Amino acid sequence: MKYLLISTILLTTSSLAFASKEDSIKDIFIYDDFSTWLDSGKALFDWSKIVKTTPKKPVTINKIKSDFSGNEVAANRDYANQWVRLTGTVKNVKLDKDGKMYADLTQNYVNFKAYISNSEFAASLQPNQKVDMYCFNITANSATQCINYPSSIWEKASEVNLSEIRANKGISSFSSILSKAVPDNIFNESCSKNIYSPTCKNAVMNSMKDFEKIIEKELKKSCGKSKESEACKNYKESIKDLEDFINK
């Protein structure tokens, strides 16, 4: 994420035509930084302090299968009657004979039943979707009480902390320019249901290809007539805010 910001350092502070879209893009950007941290990447914010926890290391269903195959006693010690973060790919979502929801996960021809406790989470899953779950009491072939792991950690972030992040001048500049790069129709089509979905994120990030043209346009607009104008001074201040944010 930090390198993405450095590569787009020339940003703008001009007024917004689509405030709601910019606010949504700002939240997408913040959540992407959170996801980077969750996957042990280099994030811009110290999310461990914000959510007051450290991310669990995920295990794949292949690893679970291998562990139980190699030493069932040790595997029971590591997985039984405790919460474990696991990742896999959804093959399909079904109901068993008792009406319990489960996602049939697959990886390299290994199948695994992840029983889900939240109906909204279960209903949101699609075939071939990669999932990150937090499950209880894992066996060689199944797990129970599975929930959406990223969402369970995201909920720990207080609104006070998130408001402070949203007010950051560097993020505001970034979301301002990006909101101009994303066409309204694409944004509405991809993000109207869930701004944190992979579909929405991909639509926003794919619009990055238009950054150079928009930056050039805003640069001329802010500083073209006079480098001493208020608009140009604000533009330069925006760049400094972003640099300070990146290098903090």
pLDDT over 80 at 239, yes or no: no
- In angstroms, rounded to a whole number, what is the distance separating the alpha carbons of residues 67 and 139? 10
pTM: 0.77
Alpha carbon 169 to chain centroid distance? 21
Helix (H) or strand (E) holding 59: strand 59-60
Which pLDDT value is given to residue 12?
Answer: 34
In a 13 Å sphere around the CA of 113, the CA atoms on its Cβ side amount to 11
Of the candidate ranges 58-67, 105-114, 119-128, 170-179, the one whose mean pLDDT is the lowest: 170-179
Instruction: Please list the residues that pair with 59 across neighbouring strands.
Output: 86
- pLDDT reading at 76 higher than 80: yes
Does residue 17 surpass a pLDDT of 50? Answer: no
Q: How many domains does the chain have?
A: 2
Residue 80's φ and ψ, nearest 5 degrees, are -75, 140
Mean pLDDT of the chain: 84
Of 131, 154, 177, the one marking the end of a domain is 154
pLDDT digits 0-9 by tens, 64-73: 999 999 999 9
Do 90 and 110 sit in the same domain of this protein? yes
E-strand ranges in 61-148 read 83-95, 101-107, 110-116, 130-136, 142-148
Q: Is the pLDDT of residue 137 over 80?
A: yes
Q: Which domain holds residue 46?
A: 15-50+157-247
What pLDDT, on the 0 to 100 scale, is given for residue 143?
Answer: 97
CB 146 within 8 A of CB 116: yes
Same domain? 102 vs 74: yes
